[in-house]
Chains A and B, each alone.
Chain A
Amino acid sequence: MRRFIDPHVHMVSRTTDDYQRMAEAGIVAVIEPSFWVGQPRTEAGSFKDYFSGLIGWERFRASQFGITHYCTIGLNSKEANNQQLAESVMKILPLFLCKEKVVGVGEIGYDEQTPLEEKYFRQQLILSKEALLPVQIHTPHRNKKRGTLRSMEVCLEHKIDPSWVVIDHNNEETVKDVLDQGFWAAFTIYPNTKMGNERMVEIVKKYGSERIIINSAADWGISDPLAVPKTASLMDEKGIPSKDIDKVCYFNALKVFGLSGKIKESDWLNAEENIDNSYNGNSVLRGDQKMKKVDRKSLSKNDSSNIIV
């Protein structure tokens, strides 16, 4: 079966049914960028707990379904507009960037393209250089083209190597500039907004598979956590060569986030070995977690044996 990475998905908003279907569809790893939660937070402590959840509980949840969970940590553009909050959040970011499964700074960038957004975007770019981490950039929904170009300009001003930067949520209007300047171009497949699968197929036909990445950005809105495998199967139907599908749905994400040194194919290919190493508590002897890691087919529907009350 083809393996997939979904390099942008907000699993905190998804159910275990989603994890199960994702595992069945061949998704072996996910990268969860930190973003806002649908409404503004008012305390830095909320961010601390959110980041802690990404590196703790969510990682455990994913592991129960044989999916390896990574994340990127950052102050999102929307909440960067609350200056007092932003200052406090900036102080705690370094504590999280050094964690083992944190593979980038993200998702950062612009929303309304305000001066405050710009300020914290720049500060976080500097942070990414210090932490030796790639950057995952959210491009705005409105005024997208300008926002995208501006994001790249600012990166270059800070002397960030474009091959370390993923520009996300591209469309037909932005992709050429992003690729021409040497950045990675990610595409979010959304049922209603952003990209549709058919359009994505056309983009790969036109631009090839070099530095192009597909993700679901599934979150608490109408979205599809199976967007990556579904788009892959459509590409297959439409005659896109297999090696190109693998690149845009797996290898490219691995390559760019692999620059962090914290995500490797062996993390999931040697899953069994890893469990023995990292999770050698006693439940491994009892087998229930091992079973889930090793044999996806053995996942029963609505299995709650690992969910503790």
Chain B
Amino acid sequence: MENTFSMQEVKAARHFIEKKIALFITDDQYKWYIEQIEKVKSGVYRNIYFAFSKVSTVFGKRILDLNEEDLIEAVIIRKGWNPSFWTVSEFIRINMLMELTFLSGEEFLNVIKNIFGTADLDERVAILKGLPIMPYQSRLTEIAAEGVRSNSKLLFEAISLNNPFPCDCFNESQWNQMVLKAAFIDCPVSDIFGLERRANAMLSDMAIDLVHERKSAGRDITPEIWRIIAPFLSTNHLKDIKALFEDKNTLSQEAAALACYISNTEEAILMLLDYRPDLHTKMIDNELSWQDITNKWNKKKLQEL
């Protein structure tokens, strides 16, 4: 069976989770967990469904505090894995599923799909967040794609943000739909892992269409969208870039500057030098990045409330 994330790596992820969780759970909680797993392993197979559901009641929903070192460790185990928003219950739930690796690959996949099929909101969020550290994950793209199709922002964000699974496992069409939808519903595009790696001309074109559509409707769109467009910026887009430079909003001007700079096309660079040579200098000095655009847009959104 194809396996993008080896059993050895699954083991490392589990070791990480168990180490972090140990600091936060009580003896009673630990005892409960062990009992559940013993039941499952001794053949009371159905118990996994109940135990998986019970986790949130037993462990609560607070976010597990991870420091910078922990997050670095996580990235070493799985490139792009960022569990900084994971709750204690989410860690426990994923660890619980990974206990099932004694099953055959087919059996394991079936259980995951069945659990997902009857899962509640939080359980689905946990599974979607956990996909990148699961065994046989390349066989679980359908679950991930369902998360992307979901109308619930919680599910959509669980799979699309801070999660390396889509970058590694989605085909181009699935990837493009996800990134475009993130911009469309104003999720922080910059929190998608692998934007640069998966950039493609089709996505760039779809994104520019969205920019035009919003412009016609008189509605705004996150300036992060230019991060998607930039790698495939063509001369056809220069009039849009020009409009951004001429916008009074400095955030628009900065997004235009970054788009030109990243695109590395002659006409765009000339336009940048023409309108905002100061920003060009800033970018050379690494003083303006897409992350700055994201932060400023977040700030603006919060101020609007």
Among B150, B153, B181, B186, chain A packs the most CB atoms within 10 A around the CB of: B153
- The stretch from B13-21, B119-127, B228-236 touching chain A is B119-127
Within residues 126 to 180 of chain B, which ones have a CB less than 8 A from any CB in chain A? Answer: 150-154, 156-158, 161-162
Residues of chain A within 8 A of B302, CB atoms compared = 285-287
Q: Is the CB of B117 within 8 A of A52?
A: yes
* Given A277-B62, A282-B187, A285-B298: A56 and B152 interface contact (C-beta under 8 Å): yes
Residues of chain A within 8 A of B67, CB atoms compared = none
Residues of chain B within 8 A of A277, CB atoms compared = 60-63, 87
* Given A52-B118, A57-B152, A94-B50: A282 and B124 interface contact (C-beta under 8 Å): no
Q: Is the CB of A285 within 8 A of B57?
A: no
B100-123 interface bits toward A, Cβ cutoff 8 Å, 1 = contact, 0 = none: 000000000000000001111111
Q: Is the CB of A281 within 8 A of B157?
A: yes
In angstroms, Cα B187 to Cα A276, docked, is 17
Q: Is the CB of B154 within 8 A of A286?
A: no
B301 within 8 A of A: yes
Q: Is the CB of A95 within 8 A of B154?
A: no
In angstroms, Cα B125 to Cα A100, docked, is 14
Chain B min CB distance to A130 (Å): 11
* A100 interface neighbour in B57, B157, B158, Cβ under 8 Å: B57
Q: Is the CB of A56 within 8 A of B186?
A: no
Residues of chain B within 8 A of A51, CB atoms compared = 118
Q: Is the CB of B152 within 8 A of A282?
A: no
* B153 interface neighbour in A94, A100, A289, Cβ under 8 Å: A289
* Given A98-B54, A99-B53: A48 and B118 interface contact (C-beta under 8 Å): yes
Q: Is the CB of A291 within 8 A of B305?
A: yes
Residues of chain A within 8 A of B87, CB atoms compared = 277-278, 280
Interface footprint category on A: 35 or more
Q: Is the CB of B57 within 8 A of A262?
A: yes
Within residues 35 to 80 of chain B, which ones have a CB less than 8 A from any CB in chain A? Answer: 49-50, 53-54, 56-57, 60-63
* Given A286-B186, A308-B181: A92 and B305 interface contact (C-beta under 8 Å): no
A1 within 8 A of B: no
Residues of chain A within 8 A of B188, CB atoms compared = 282, 285-286
* Given A100-B57, A289-B153, A307-B151: A281 and B158 interface contact (C-beta under 8 Å): yes
B205 within 8 A of A: no
In angstroms, Cα B121 to Cα A307, docked, is 16
Residues of chain B within 8 A of A306, CB atoms compared = 153
Chain A min CB distance to B132 (Å): 16
* Given A287-B305, A289-B153, A307-B151: A101 and B186 interface contact (C-beta under 8 Å): no
B185 within 8 A of A: yes
B85 within 8 A of A: yes
In angstroms, Cα B181 to Cα A149, docked, is 55
Residues of chain A within 8 A of B150, CB atoms compared = 308
Within residues 210 to 232 of chain B, which ones have a CB less than 8 A from any CB in chain A? Answer: none
A8 within 8 A of B: no
In angstroms, Cα B54 to Cα A99, docked, is 7
Chain A residue nearest in CB terms to B54? A98
* Given A279-B154, A282-B85: A101 and B62 interface contact (C-beta under 8 Å): no
Interface footprint category on B: 35 or more
Chain A residue nearest in CB terms to B190? A282
Within residues 58 to 88 of chain A, which ones have a CB less than 8 A from any CB in chain B? Answer: 59-60
Q: Is the CB of B63 within 8 A of A281?
A: no
B191 within 8 A of A: yes
Q: Is the CB of B151 within 8 A of A283?
A: no
Q: Is the CB of A59 within 8 A of B63?
A: no
A98-113 interface bits toward B, Cβ cutoff 8 Å, 1 = contact, 0 = none: 1111000000000000
Chain B min CB distance to A36 (Å): 20
A268 within 8 A of B: no
* A281 interface neighbour in B57, B85, B124, Cβ under 8 Å: B85
Chain B min CB distance to A76 (Å): 19
A55 within 8 A of B: yes
Chain B min CB distance to A272 (Å): 13
Q: Is the CB of A60 within 8 A of B152?
A: yes
A298 within 8 A of B: yes
Residues of chain A within 8 A of B151, CB atoms compared = 57, 60, 307-308
In angstroms, Cα B123 to Cα A61, docked, is 17
A115 within 8 A of B: no
In angstroms, Cα B187 to Cα A52, docked, is 25
Q: Is the CB of A98 within 8 A of B53?
A: yes
A241 within 8 A of B: no
A261 within 8 A of B: yes
* Given A100-B57, A286-B298, A287-B301: A59 and B161 interface contact (C-beta under 8 Å): no
Within residues 220 to 244 of chain A, which ones have a CB less than 8 A from any CB in chain B? Answer: none
| B interface residues (Cβ-Cβ under 8 A, vs A) | 49-50, 53-54, 56-57, 60-63, 85, 87, 117-125, 150-154, 156-158, 161-162, 181, 184-188, 191, 298, 301-302, 305
Interchain residue pairs with CB less than 8 A apart (21) = A48-B117, A56-B120, A56-B124, A95-B118, A99-B123, A100-B53, A100-B120, A100-B122, A101-B120, A278-B61, A280-B87, A281-B157, A281-B158, A285-B298, A286-B187, A286-B301, A288-B301, A306-B153, A308-B150, A308-B152, A308-B153
> What 3 A-B pairs have minimum CB-CB distances, sorted nearest first?
A55-B120, A281-B157, A60-B152
